[in-house]
Amino acid sequence: MTGSVRAANGLVATGHHLATQAGLAALRDGGSAADAAVAAAAVCAVVLPEATGVGGDLFALVYDARTRAVSAYNGSGAAPRSIDPGRFAGTGFPDRGAILATVPGAVAGWVDLAQDHGRLGLERLLAPAIRYAADGFPLSDRVARSLGSADARIGADVGSAATFAPRGRWLHGGEILQQPDLAVTLRAVAASGADGFYRGAVAERLAAGVRDMGGALSLDDLAAHRTDRPEPLAVAYRNLTVYGQPPVSQGHVLLEELALAEGLDLAAFGSDEQVHLMVELKKIAFADRDLHAGDPRVTGFDARCLLEPAFLAARRAAVGKRASDAVAGASFGTDTTYLCVVDRDGNAVSLIESVFSLFGAAALVPGTGVMLNNRLTGFSLDPRSANVLAPGKRPVHTLNAVLVLEGATPRFVYGTPGAQAQVQTNFQLAVGLIDHGLDPQRAIDAPRWYHESGRALLMEAGFSEKTRQGLAERGHHLTVLAGHDEKTGGAQVIGIEENGSFIGGADERRDGHAAGY
């Protein structure tokens, strides 16, 4: 473990050191936080192919120091308009395949962030990602392990094998991964913006390839895609304002957890009393998600109803002294990456992107370098669900980003990958940072718990025996993890000090890296 890093001019924290370097270089070249975030996110899409890519989705929160306002970007795509939900009746969703892809939204999200808040232009911002795609980079040990563990999913895919097994076997850590087709796709975006991906030659190759692979994504689906800019959600917590993403992001789950906790004492850090309360609040917020959450364009769902004082008071009263049962909700993919950036002018970006499961749909479209997402499996097939699959509808996402203001200026920018763990880990980080004043790295390194269903509770080994015993006595069924475990996420955190300097940390659970200047 290392301590937090400090800087006066800008700070970048991402899930890969090459992405952090790309973001930092953009800041040094006079770029804004949005410029650095786009540069870093694009590099992540090259060097973390198991977690993100141009075939994935993006959500971001941006603080603009000039307007002192927070804006939200929903860069997620819809189900193909030709999709037939009936084809999955009785069998459920397959494990892999192009049929699982929704419209990729990440590229449009990058372009819109750069246009709205950037200074450097796409050609400069995408240059590092293009270089790593064309010339290659040494594969990390972690990504190499992911290739091995994904063999059953990607082994039969021609595009994946050609890219990640050029010698007839999956690349090992330290070997050079080159993705020349991806470089061509990224060059088209650098030259033509969103049109370089969603229209024209790349879109035609992508749509034709998806069709040949049995998918439903069409040229019309791609051309119709736009980034949503919804009003962000916010709650007051301990004299700060915590901003989160509205649906289809699950940012409202974190905000409900915090709003419920606002009326409770969480002072005993790491104690069985504190952990019990937080786990039970998590169960309440997830139950509300499973009951209500769906694409608001279709369902009309307004997550603000879950943050009303009267509703929160009634839900808070349901917390008991013993562990409650909780029915397992939907299953969500685990492969995602998160990054955050602040610049010398006070701008801040909190950004998360994903292809959903490990290597997404395990379907890499030949000639494009695009690994498709499998976000369709984020839908429910239960016709009673607000999140039921329908053509042109967006699924519920675990993806959420966090931005915390003190008054009208940023105090913390943070987030984590980790599927169902995201809003649980973000809840724990908020309590560590805000309630207990931990610096970013200490908050990240603190042991975490993770709840999925019933009374089962995973706990990292750093909790005391007293805490574990107390939780067991309250009825929680504990499994102790060996140490820091990536199941609980891979967080990055930046704090803004009273004097305007920055302090940041990154998570060793997933090769995080923070640096500033």
* Residue 243: inside a domain: yes
DSSP per-residue string spanning 417-437: --GGGHHHHHHHHHIIIIIS-
**Mean pLDDT value of segment 489-516:** 96
Note the pLDDT tens digit of each residue in 374-386.
Answer: 999 999 999 999 9
Does residue 335 carry a pLDDT above 80? no
**Mean pLDDT value of segment 210-215:** 97
DSSP per-residue string spanning 139-180: PPHHHHHHHHHTHHHHTT-HHHHHHH-TTSSPPPTTSEE--H
CA nearest neighbour of 412 among 422, 398, 396, 401: 401
Q: How far is CA 117 from the centre of its chain?
A: 21
Question: Residue 330's pLDDT is what?
Answer: 52
**Mean pLDDT value of segment 419-448:** 96
* Residue 266: inside a domain: yes
Considering the entire predicted model, what is its pTM?
0.96
How many CA atoms lie less than 13 Å away from 470 in the CB half-sphere?
A: 14
Question: Residue 328's pLDDT is what?
Answer: 55
* Local structure of 100: helix, strand or coil: helix
Question: Residue 354's pLDDT is what?
Answer: 97
Does residue 333 carry a pLDDT above 70? no
45, 48, 181, 183 from 132: Cα distances, Å:
10, 11, 12, 8
User: For residue 157, what are its two tokens?
Assistant: 């895919």
**Separation CA 503–CA 90 (nearest Å):** 52
* Residue 273: inside a domain: yes
At 65, the pLDDT band (50, 70, 90 cuts) reads: very high
Strands 57-64 and 348-356: antiparallel
User: For residue 23, what are its two tokens?
Assistant: 């973001």
* Residue 431: inside a domain: yes
Cβ(79)–Cβ(392) below 8 Å:
yes
At 329, the pLDDT band (50, 70, 90 cuts) reads: low
- How many independent structural domains does the chain possess? 1
Does residue 446 carry a pLDDT above 70? yes
Question: Residue 327's pLDDT is what?
Answer: 65
**Mean pLDDT value of segment 23-42:** 98
User: For residue 3, what are its two tokens?
Assistant: 């301590």
Question: Residue 334's pLDDT is what?
Answer: 56
**Separation CA 458–CA 182 (nearest Å):** 39
Tell me the residue range of the domain where 272 lies.
233-332+400-509
* Residue 53: inside a domain: no
Positive or negative torsion for Cα 276, 280, 281, 285? positive
| Average pLDDT, rounded, for the chain | 95
* Residue 295: inside a domain: yes
Note the pLDDT tens digit of each residue in 136-157.
Answer: 999 999 999 999 999 999 999 9
Note the pLDDT tens digit of each residue in 312-327.
Answer: 999 999 999 999 997 6
Does residue 79 carry a pLDDT above 60? yes
Cis peptide before 248 (omega within 30 of 0): yes
At 417, the pLDDT band (50, 70, 90 cuts) reads: very high
Beta bridge partners, 42, equal none
Note the pLDDT tens digit of each residue in 120-141.
Answer: 999 999 999 999 999 999 999 9
Cβ(387)–Cβ(293) below 8 Å:
yes
User: For residue 385, what are its two tokens?
Assistant: 């669900």
Highest mean pLDDT among 60-64, 265-269, 483-487: 60-64
Does residue 249 carry a pLDDT above 60? yes
Residue 465 makes CB contacts below 8 A (sequence gap 6+) with none
- CATH number, residue 412: 1.10.246.130
Does residue 2 carry a pLDDT above 90? no
Question: Residue 420's pLDDT is what?
Answer: 87
* Local structure of 386: helix, strand or coil: coil
Note the pLDDT tens digit of each residue in 90-122.
Answer: 899 999 999 999 999 999 999 999 999 999 999
* Residue 186: inside a domain: no
Catalytic residues: 336
Question: Residue 418's pLDDT is what?
Answer: 86
* Residue 174: inside a domain: no
User: For residue 333, what are its two tokens?
Assistant: 């993919």
The H-or-E segment that residue 234 falls in is strand 233-237
Percent of the chain at pLDDT above 90? 93
User: For residue 100, what are its two tokens?
Assistant: 């699982």
Question: Residue 469's pLDDT is what?
Answer: 98
Beta bridge partners, 241, equal 236, 405
